[in-house]
């Protein structure tokens, strides 16, 4: 088994696993069902394969920064979906339930497209290069299982907690994950020279290095950056602020269709 491959796959799947677990717990709380997740996952896998197969031509877009720009806007689109999810989860009507399922499906599909395409390209290089792809697949499967296990643990912890505690934890994790997505998207646009980069305002590498295993996983889930610029910090804080405010919009009349977590 190759430890590096386990870390790479885990890094790509952990964010998706945590996000899906949060959305699935919201689905259980609202008594929505899981059909939306099955459809979203299927569309996401198909989209990931299509994206990966066309990555060569996509990379040539926008003066050869197409991959960075597309990935950035995928992240921004997921963030926008999460903002509206935070709003609609507090509204109790059949129309809002339908919109909530749609937005959760969009968020899951897009994150699988982004992460799945990278894994598809990663493993294609093993197969085309004639390397030991069986060992790579085995190591990757372990990384995938760890990521899925973290997501499952998060989900079952939420559905067994009290409703109020579960909502607070859901919102906290959603806000941090969403903020990390905006930070990562901003970094991609800086790499593409669509946004201006600047010198770091601090360096926390002495506390947690980005190259360490924990640092890589923290980046994957929450967008941890040891040397953030002012623009990156502002993007992160604004993103967290907006999604937090969205979660505080007053709910309407209580619906009997709502199902408590416990």
Nearest CA to 113 among 49, 204, 193?
A: 49
Residue 238 has pLDDT above 90, yes or no: yes
Q: Measured between alpha carbons, how far is 28 from 25 in angstroms, rounded to an integer? A: 5
d(CA 255, CA 198) in angstroms, rounded, equals 50
Check pLDDT > 70 for residue 194.
yes
CB-neighbour burial class of residue 77 (10 A; exposed 0-12, middle 13-18, buried 19+) = middle
In whole angstroms, give the CA distance from residue 31 to residue 240: 27
Sign of the alpha-carbon dihedral angle for 244, 173, 111, 209? positive
Token pair of 20, please? 């899906």
pLDDT for the residue 253:
41
Task: Please determine, for residue 229, whether its predicted confidence score (pLDDT) is greater than 50.
Answer: yes
pLDDT tens digits, 47-67: 999 999 999 899 999 999 999
Sign of CA dihedral 242, 94, 152, 41: negative
Would you say 30 and 89 are in contact if contact means Cβ atoms under 8 Å apart? yes
Residue 187 has pLDDT above 80, yes or no: yes
Question: Does 262 score more than 70 pLDDT?
Answer: no
pLDDT at residue 242 tops 60 = yes
Residue 46 DSSP SS3: helix
Q: pLDDT confidence of 257, banded at 50, 70, 90? A: very low
Share above pLDDT 90 across residues of the chain, in percent, rounded to a whole number: 53
pLDDT in tens, 62-91: 999 999 999 999 999 999 999 999 988 876
Mean pLDDT, residues 100-106? 93
Tokens, residue 117 = 């395409």
Mean pLDDT across the stretch 37-45? 95
Out of 116-130, 149-163, 217-231, pick the least confident. 116-130
Evaluate whether 57 touches 188 at the Cβ level (below 8 Å). Answer: no
In this prediction, residue 260 has a pLDDT band, given cuts at 50, 70 and 90, of very low
- Given a cut of 90, whether residue 230 has pLDDT beyond it is yes
């Amino acid at each position: 088994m190759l430890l590096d491959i386990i870390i790479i796959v885990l890094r790509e799947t952990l964010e998706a696993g945590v996000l899906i677990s949060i959305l699935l717990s919201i689905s259980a709380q609202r008594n929505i069902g899981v059909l939306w997740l099955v459809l979203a996952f299927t569309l996401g896998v198909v989209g990931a394969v299509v994206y990966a197969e066309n990555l060569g031509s996509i990379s040539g877009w926008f003066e050869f920064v197409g991959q960075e720009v597309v990935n950035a806007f995928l992240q921004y689109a997921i963030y926008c979906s999460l903002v509206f999810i935070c709003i609609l989860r507090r509204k109790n009507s059949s129309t809002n339930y339908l919109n909530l399922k749609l937005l959760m499906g969009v968020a899951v599909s897009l994150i699988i497209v982004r992460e799945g395409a990278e894994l598809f390209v990663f493993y294609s290089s093993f197969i085309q290069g004639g390397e030991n792809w069986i060992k790579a697949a085995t190591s990757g499967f372990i990384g995938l299982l760890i990521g899925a296990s973290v997501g499952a643990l998060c989900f079952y912890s939420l559905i067994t907690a009290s409703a109020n505690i579960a909502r607070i934890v859901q919102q906290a994790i959603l806000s941090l994950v969403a903020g990390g997505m905006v930070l990562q998207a901003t970094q991609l646009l800086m790499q593409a020279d669509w946004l201006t980069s600047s010198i770091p305002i601090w360096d926390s590498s002495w506390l947690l290095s980005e190259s360490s295993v924990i640092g890589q996983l923290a980046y994957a889930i929450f967008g941890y950056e040891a040397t953030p610029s002012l623009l990156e910090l502002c993007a992160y804080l604004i993103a967290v602020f907006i999604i937090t405010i969205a979660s505080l919009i007053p709910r309407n009349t209580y619906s009997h269709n709502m199902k408590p977590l416990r």
